[in-house]
Amino acid sequence: MTEYTFKGQTDKGDEAFAREIREITRSRLDCCYQCFTCTAGCPVVFAMDYPPHQIIRMVQMGLKKRVLESKTIWVCATCETCATRCPNEVEIVRVMDALREMALKEKVKIPEPSVPAMHKIFLSLIKEMGRVHEISLLILLKLKTREFLKDMVLGMKMFKKGKLKIIPHRIKGLKEVKKIYDAVEGKR
Amino acid sequence: MTKTFAYYPGCSLESTAREFELSVQAVCRALGIELKEVPDWNCCGASSGHSVNYELSLALPGRNLAIAEQTGMELAVSCPACFLRFKRTDYDLKHDPALKEEIERVIGMPYEGKHATRHIMEIIYREVGLEELKKRVTRPLKDVKVVSYYGCLLVRPPRVTGFGEHENPVMMDEMMDALGAQSCDWSGKIDCCGGSLALTRTDIVLKLVGDLMEEAKKAGAEAVICACPLCQANLDTRQSSRETLPILYFSEMIGLSIGLDPMPWFKKHMVNPVPLLKRKGLI
């Protein structure tokens, strides 16, 4: 196993991890020649610990732990600016998606836990009702993050303006949606 | 002549983006576009789907696409997130026969991708057209200075959305000009608002919204026109400056200028558009 020293830390490259990401994403990530275009256009790079081009480089090197435990993959806004401008058409967002999915599957330590918490709640609401009931999303997220007072005033204002639907709608085809979840989750 | 489409409203248009739904429905009715809601549609998965579960992110839109396909009509969508999820699902399934087979198995329905998914803005632009739109204006928008904010998901990735001109789109700008407004050129047209990070990393959204609003004001804008429920919500609720600009859906602007009653839509905004429009003598 090759050892890589990057940003003052030495890790062993995990060839299997690099191969797995390559195969899952088919993203042309080996074509990346570190031109920095993705990083230059990324709107949230200021909030990242590793900019996008470094994530791609670390995947190439197989630095699994550092990539999966990064803040970067969770603050990525999936705006597709990077992938659109990449001269080698590397599917950077697809790589970020795969890294997030892997980070959750392998239960690594997540530095931005509220982000995956929100995604999980969002998807569980679809499983329960077929559609996302926004009040339920907000309440469940608050219970999870324990930030009860956050955006309270804003929430009340939106409620008064009739912007928050009170009664959730359960679709008739809920069984079909549950079947979809079972089929997808059954493989995990 | 009426053109009919299958229509997918999406979850936001039933609640936080209610004024978007109301204005789209009213404008389409007035312009001869018939929208038939996809029966018993489910949530497309939006950003959360693809962020943590690739297969689910294809299956959830897949079910809707398969149901819509049975109607024989093209699928009209108002929300860019839903629009992109449908376009992406169609694209990925068409480029990977094994994946297509797998998703068809998961959703329990066939999907051939016979009919295109189209965004309401593009439908109005192409099916109605600028000339017809100009003819329908009864309340020209008196050169109110606007910037058009397209955001991310309507335009990127270009080979999936088919939007064209993804670095400098002009569709919305041209429509606003046709209505009598004055489109200002600005650098934030396709910049990200932070999307769903609004709930989990509000600090990021505050910064991005702050930058966008600064660019809009530099361009001389009196209002920002947008096409996405999340962009509109982020800009409408997270402006830090005391000098706030109203954030309006393109459909609200069309409705206002062709003589529909915009008040039920306007009262849902957090930054009230009424004072600006009153000053301009538009209401």
Question: Which among B37, B38, B52 is the top mutation candidate for probing chain A, defined by the most A β-carbons within 10 Å of its own β-carbon?
Answer: B52
B195 near A CB under 8 A:
yes
Q: Both A12 and A76 in a single domain?
A: yes
Backbone phi and psi for residue A152, each to the nearest 5 degrees, phi listed first: -60, -50
- Say how far apart CA B140 and CA A172 lie, in whole Å: 44
**Cα B249 to Cα B236: distance, rounded to the nearest angstrom:** 11
Kindly state whether residues B245 and B190 are assigned to the same domain. yes
- Smallest Cβ distance to A81: which of B40, B53, B192? B192
Residues A100 and A119 in one domain: no
Reported as a single tens digit per residue, the pLDDT across B66-95 is 999 999 999 999 999 999 999 999 999 999
Say yes or no: A88 and A127 in one domain: no
DSSP per-residue string spanning chain A:
--EEEETTEEEE--HHHHHHHHHHH---GGG-----HHHHH-TTGGG-SS-HHHHHHHHHHT-HHHHHT-SHHHH-----HHHHH-TT---HHHHHHHHHHHHHHTTPPPS-THHHHHHHHHHHHHHHHSS--HHHHHHHHHHHHT--STTHHHHHHHHHTT-S-SS----TTHHHHHHHHHHHHTT-
pLDDT at A1 over 70: no
pLDDT in the model for residue B2? 79
Measured in angstroms, the CA of B257 and the nearest CA of chain A are apart by 24
Amino acid at B240: S
Rounded Cα gap, residues B225 and B249, in angstroms? 6
> Do A59 and A94 belong together in one domain?
yes
Question: What's the structural domain count of chain A?
Answer: 2
Q: Are residues A35 and A56 in the same domain?
A: yes
Q: Which of the residues A161, A166, A174 would you substitute to probe the B interface, choosing the one with the greatest number of B C-beta atoms within 10 Å? A: A161
pLDDT at residue A133, rounded to an integer: 94
CA pair distance B27, B115, nearest whole angstrom:
23
Checking ipTM against 0.90, whether it exceeds it is yes
**CATH number of the domain encompassing residue A59:** 1.10.1060
Q: Which residue of B has its CA nearest to A145?
A: B200
Instruction: Report d(CA B229, CA B149) in Å as an integer.
Output: 12
Tens digit of each residue's pLDDT (9 = 90 or more) over B133-149: 999 999 999 999 999 99
Q: Which of B119, B152, B186 is the last residue of a domain?
A: B119
Residue A114 CA to residue B205 CA, distance in Å, equals 15
Residues B186 and B226 in one domain: yes
| Residue B207, token pair as written in the block | 């910064």
Q: Does B70 share its domain with B157?
A: no
Domain that holds residue A57: 3-105
Kindly state whether residues A96 and A65 are assigned to the same domain.
Answer: yes
Give Cα A28 distance to the centre of its chain. 20
Structurally, chain B folds into a number of domains equal to 2
pLDDT digits (tens, 9 = 90+) for B246-277: 999 999 999 999 999 999 999 999 999 999 99
Cα distance between residue B218 and residue B187, in whole Å: 10
Q: Which of residues 94-113 of B touch A (CB under 8 A)?
A: 105-108
Q: Which residue type, as a one-letter code, is found at position A98?
A: A
Contacts of B158 in chain A (CB under 8 A): 84
Domain co-membership, B95 together with B55 = yes
B168 lies in the same domain as B261 = yes
What's B171's domain CATH number? 3.40.50.11810
List of residues 6+ apart from A4 with CB closer than 8 A: A10, A11, A12, A13, A61, A63
Asked if the Cβ–Cβ distance from B52 to A116 is below 8 Å, we say: yes
Shared domain check, B224 and B164? yes
Q: B60, A126: Cβ pair inside 8 Å? A: yes
